[in-house]
Structure 1
Amino acid sequence: MARNVIKTNPNLIALAHNLRKKSYDEDVAIWKSVAAKLEKSTRNQPEVNVANINRYTSENDTVVIPGKVLSNGNLDHKVVVAALKFSETAKAEIEKAGGDCISIADLVEKNPKGSNVKIMQ
């Protein structure tokens, strides 16, 4: 029988709650999906390398990662990356390519409808 995952980080709980509320208010499913991925256990949250961001995005794309961004690889185009956590070298790599590293909450405020946003896991 699977154990229930109980998150204790109040910031993460508040973020998931706000994402579900925004999903309901704006009638879009992307934020509900991101909230569900954030509520998973930490072992099941994705860790995405910069090389994967480079491979699966194009110039000026917006990507949300409900986990951590790691620095393996290079980025050769400008992207906006919203994630739960960034490693310091991954953040430097994204900014060196001309992209932006923002929090998921900031992305929701900038783009409440979630249009043209890709979820990477």
Structure 2
Amino acid sequence: MVRKNTKTNPNLVQIIRTLKDKSHSEDVAIWINVAKKLERSTRSYPDVNLSKINRYSADGETVLIPGKVLSDGVLDHKVNVVALKFSESASTKIENAGGKTISLTEILEENPKGNNIKILE
């Protein structure tokens, strides 16, 4: 028998609900995809280092991480990073490189259509 994952964090439940609502109202598939990734077990959330973001992103690009951003590596160009969580040193390195750290709720308000966003895991 398969156990159903139920989220107990009310903030995360609200973020998932908001992502699904925005996906249906804007008719955009990216937000439902991110919501499905966040509905999984928290053990399967990706932990992405800055070195991977640096390798797979271009200057001025927006990258979405459905998990946590860690500070291992160097970021040598300006990139906007959207994530569920950031380590303190990772957010410092991103801002020192000229980029921005953005929460999931902020990106929904800034870019409801999800244009020019790359998802990294």
Q: State the TM-score, normalized to the length of structure 2.
A: 0.98
C-alpha deviations, 1:32-55, integer Å up to 9, x for none? 000111111111011100000000
Which residue is equivalent to 1:56?
56
Q: Structure 2: which amino acid aligns with 1:54? A: N
Percent identical: 58
C-alpha deviations, 1:62-108, integer Å up to 9, x for none? 01111000011000000110100000010111011000001011011
Which residue is equivalent to 1:103?
103
Structure 2: which 5+ residue stretches go unaligned?
A: none
C-alpha deviations, 1:7-52, integer Å up to 9, x for none? 0000000000000000000000000000111111111011100000
Q: Structure 1: which amino acid aligns with 2:48? A: V
| Residues 18-57 of structure 1 aligned to structure 2 (within 5 Å) | 18-57=18-57
Which residue is equivalent to 2:120?
120
SS, match of residue 73 in structure 2 = coil
Provide the rounded CA distance (Å) in 2 between the counterparts of 1:67 and 1:23.
19
SS, match of residue 78 in structure 1 = coil
Tell me the number of residue pairs that the alignment of Structure 1 and Structure 2 aligns: 121
Aligned-pair Cα RMSD in Å: 0.7
Q: State the TM-score, normalized to the length of structure 1.
A: 0.98
| Alignment of 1:79 onto 2:67 | no
Q: Structure 1: which amino acid aligns with 2:107? A: L
Displacement of 1:109 after TM fit?
0.6
| Alignment of 1:90 onto 2:90 | yes
Provide the rounded CA distance (Å) in 2 between the counterparts of 1:5 and 1:44.
12
Displacement of 1:2 after TM fit?
3.0
